[in-house]
């Protein structure tokens, strides 16, 4: 055993022999920034060894930290204490809340009582005659015309056994009666979840009206295993027990959010009787505790594609144990329920014009709608848009630079929260690249071009060319950073071009681009046009968290669920890895448009 004193948290931990600091901090719930899940490839879990003997630097640390190693900086996932150690985690401690959007308001749809998936009726129990052999269940069957009862509903019914003329409520869905409660509640509550790879968003609804009572978002606790779905797949592949840990992490994230939104509305999570969940296909599998390993190997087949209904008690969700849980269908292994939820929420698939729907994020999904046909693909954009692979890249949280403004020889920026900068999030990185291109400071291949009036912004150290964004604190981007972002952008643009080819269209035929998700809501359309993500003449519309809006609609409408199920079977899915022309499209897309 070794003792690790953690600054500035003031905690002292006991570590196992040969255990690296990242694993120790993960085990003790100390969140460090990391995108690779602790394999040394992202270089984000930076700590400083203040005192004590540790293992020598690895090649990964030399590559990511360079001369900073001499100042005591190390990667937590690579360094093993050889005795008692004092360690400062300030450089990578993730104690700030990520930026998470609630769902947008769209239309004034009303839903009939008969269309709501979960039904409620307030009844009064009359005990049967002494001379009529029967049961409480049989008496209730006649009142609600259902004979199937979940055990938790029978448990509630049993509490009425000694009472007469007692008013109570019964709740049921298409499958069974799942709750008997007394006294009746004032509202019937539901929770809608968008399970993002990085963040989870949640809304609390009054199911009778469809009104949102509260909403909140949080970092997905699964990020300790890595920032993208590939790292989650790898975690399960390397140690199958991690499947249970990943399922527990996301459920704990959801339970914490349920507690927060119910506290905001001064309601009890145990009164929630319906839950809807959408996410990418891997996230939905992990939520259900299903192994996603078949998605990670050819032919990338999911265990489940259709929508799925189960009870909350099966998943340890902290709501009513009989609550109905609806999980969205998926199109394929890499186009999931979150995309279907967003398309359905805005009825994109019914449009008469040619529309490109882009959900930019850790997993980049692209959908093309043209004359009633729907084409979709998933692109391996990776976590670059979350800041991975970029020296000062970070998630969209407090202190992240999210926008830049270029003027002749001058640069200004805005940060989330208006506080001093800590790094640059994805929208800021794209905005920065667009500005560099617009002012001729970046070539079509992503190399810096020095100009006299911008000379003070450029530096070179040990062969590395830098563009300085801030000097206090020091924040810069390198050509290697630009290259990593080009790869992510190139994958998305190549996916779009393959969809266009499949539909026998050109970029100029796209009439409208819909940008979904938090990333899409904050990226400037003009920056996206400069970078070639949006065609020059196409209209651009940001719709916010469209997936969460779809999850909300699924809570209150069986009709909407049916529409999404039908849409899932209509989509022409294009598996890019099976396309021989994808590599050529990708290489072409790497170049910035002049």
Give, as one character, the DSSP assignment of residue 81: B
* Rounded percentage of the chain residues whose pLDDT exceeds 90: 62
Q: Are strands 199-206 and 211-219 parallel, antiparallel or unpaired?
A: antiparallel
Lowest mean pLDDT among 84-88, 138-142, 299-303, 582-586: 138-142
Distance CA 331, CA 340 (A): 8
Please give the average per-residue pLDDT across 392-416, as a whole number: 90
Fold annotation for 189-327: Nucleotidyltransferase; domain 5 (3.30.420)
- 340: CB partners within 8 A, 6+ apart: 278, 328, 329, 330, 331, 550, 564, 567, 568
- For residue 108, the model assigns a pLDDT of 47
Q: How confident is the model at residue 523 (pLDDT cuts 50, 70, 90)?
A: confident
Distance CA 220, CA 199 (A): 5
What's the pLDDT tens digit per position in 263-309?
999 999 999 999 999 999 999 999 999 999 999 998 899 999 999 99
Q: How confident is the model at residue 354 (pLDDT cuts 50, 70, 90)?
A: very high
What's the pLDDT tens digit per position in 45-72?
899 999 999 999 999 999 888 888 999 9
Q: Where in the chain is the domain with CATH 3.30.420.480?
A: 189-327
What's the pLDDT tens digit per position in 482-500?
999 999 899 999 999 999 9
- For residue 162, the model assigns a pLDDT of 64
- For residue 550, the model assigns a pLDDT of 95
Q: Where in the chain is the domain with CATH 3.10.20.30?
A: 2-88
What's the pLDDT tens digit per position in 138-175?
878 877 777 799 999 999 888 876 666 678 899 999 88
Residue 96 clears pLDDT 70, i.e. is over it: no
Distance CA 11, CA 25 (A): 11
- Is 107 exposed, middle or buried (CB count within 10 Å of its CB: 0-12, 13-18, 19+)? exposed
Measured CA distances, 285 to 250, 304, 337 (Å): 11, 8, 11
What's the pLDDT tens digit per position in 432-466?
999 999 999 999 999 999 998 999 999 988 788 99
> Residue 296: CA atoms inside 13 Å, Cβ hemisphere, count?
17
Instruction: Provide CATH code, domain 2-88.
Output: 3.10.20.30
Residue 206 clears pLDDT 50, i.e. is over it: yes
* Angle at alpha carbon of residue 305, lines to 303 and 307, rounded to 5°: 120
Q: Are 190 and 208 in contact (CB under 8 A)?
A: no
Residue 374 clears pLDDT 70, i.e. is over it: yes
Residue 520 clears pLDDT 60, i.e. is over it: yes
- 122: CB partners within 8 A, 6+ apart: 167, 168, 169, 184
Measured CA distances, 572 to 350, 496, 566 (Å): 15, 14, 13
Residue 559 clears pLDDT 70, i.e. is over it: yes
Residue 399 clears pLDDT 50, i.e. is over it: yes
Q: Are 527 and 431 in contact (CB under 8 A)?
A: yes
Q: Are strands 512-516 and 46-51 parallel, antiparallel or unpaired?
A: unpaired
- For residue 594, the model assigns a pLDDT of 60
pTM, 2 dp? 0.88
10-39 b/e with 16+ CB inside 10 Å = b?
A: eeebebeeeebbbbbbbeeebbbbbbbbbe
- For residue 183, the model assigns a pLDDT of 84
Q: How confident is the model at residue 107 (pLDDT cuts 50, 70, 90)?
A: very low
Q: Edge to edge, what strands does the sheet with 189-195 contain?
A: 211-219, 199-206, 189-195, 272-279, 324-327, 308-311
- For residue 1, the model assigns a pLDDT of 85
Q: Are strands 512-516 and 355-359 parallel, antiparallel or unpaired?
A: parallel
- For residue 386, the model assigns a pLDDT of 75
The mean of the pLDDT values for the chain is 89
């Amino acid at each position: 055993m070794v003792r690790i004193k953690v600054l500035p948290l003031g905690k002292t931990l006991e570590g196992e022999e040969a255990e690296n600091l990242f694993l120790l901090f993960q085990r003790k719930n100390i969140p460090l920034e990391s995108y690779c899940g602790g394999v040394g490839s992202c270089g984000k879990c930076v700590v400083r060894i203040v005192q004590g003997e540790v293992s020598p630097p690895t090649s990964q640390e030399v590559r990511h930290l360079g001369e900073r190693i001499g100042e005591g900086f190390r990667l937590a996932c690579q360094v093993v204490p050889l005795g008692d150690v004092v360690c400062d985690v300030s450089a990578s401690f993730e104690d700030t809340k990520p930026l998470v959007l609630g769902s947008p308001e769209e239309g004034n749809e009303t839903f009939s009582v008969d269309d709501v998936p979960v039904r409620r009726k307030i009844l009064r129990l009359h005990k049967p005659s002494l001379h009529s052999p029967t049961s409480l269940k049989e008496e209730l069957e006649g009142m609600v015309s259902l004979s199937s009862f979940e055990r938790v509903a029978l448990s509630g019914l049993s509490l009425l056994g000694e009472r007469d003329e007692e008013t109570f409520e019964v709740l049921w869905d298409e499958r069974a009666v799942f709750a008997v409660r007394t006294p009746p509640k004032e509202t019937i509550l539901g929770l809608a979840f968008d399970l993002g790879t990085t963040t989870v968003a949640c809304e609390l609804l009054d199911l009778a009206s469809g009104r949102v009572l509260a909403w909140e978002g949080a970092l997905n606790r699964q990020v300790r295993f890595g920032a993208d779905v590939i790292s989650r797949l790898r975690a399960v592949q390397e140690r199958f027990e991690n499947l249970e840990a990943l399922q527990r992490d996301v459920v704990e994230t959801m339970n914490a959010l349920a507690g927060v939104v119910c506290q905001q509305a001064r309601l009890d999570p145990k009164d929630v009787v319906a839950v809807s969940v959408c996410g990418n296909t891997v996230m939905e599998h992990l939520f259900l505790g299903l192994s996603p390993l078949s998605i990670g190997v050819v032919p990338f087949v999911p265990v489940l594609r259709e929508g799925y209904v189960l009870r909350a008690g099966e998943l340890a969700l902290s709501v009513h144990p009989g609550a109905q849980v609806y999980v969205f269908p998926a199109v394929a292994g890499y186009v999931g329920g979150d995309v279907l939820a967003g398309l359905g929420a805005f009825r994109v698939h019914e449009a008469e014009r040619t529309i490109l729907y882009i959900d930019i994020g850790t997993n980049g999904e692209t959908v093309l709608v043209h004359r009633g046909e729907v084409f979709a693909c998933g692109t391996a954009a990776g976590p670059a848009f979350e800041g991975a692979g970029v020296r000062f890249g970070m998630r969209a949280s407090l202190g992240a630079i999210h926008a830049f403004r270029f003027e002749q020889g001058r640069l200004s920026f805005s940060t989330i929260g208006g506080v001093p900068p800590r790094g640059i999030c994805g929208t800021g990185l794209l905005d920065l690249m667009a500005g560099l291109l617009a002012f001729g400071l970046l070539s079509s291949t992503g190399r810096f071009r020095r100009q006299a009036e911008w000379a003070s912004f450029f530096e070179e150290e040990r062969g590395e060319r830098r563009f300085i964004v801030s000097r206090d604190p020091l924040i810069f981007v390198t050509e290697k950073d630009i290259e990593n972002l080009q790869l992510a952008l190139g994958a998305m643009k190549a996916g779009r071009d393959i969809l266009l080819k499949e539909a026998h269209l050109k970029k100029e035929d796209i009439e409208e681009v819909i940008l979904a998700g938090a990333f899409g809501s904050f990226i400037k359309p003009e920056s996206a046009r400069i970078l070639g993500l949006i065609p020059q003449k196409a209209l651009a519309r940001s719709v916010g968290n469209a997936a969460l809006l779809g999850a909300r609609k699924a809570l209150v409408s069986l009709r909407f669920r049916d529409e999404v199920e039908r849409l899932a079977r209509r989509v022409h899915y294009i598996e890019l890895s099976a396309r021989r022309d994808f590599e050529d499209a990708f290489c072409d897309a790497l170049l910035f448009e002049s």
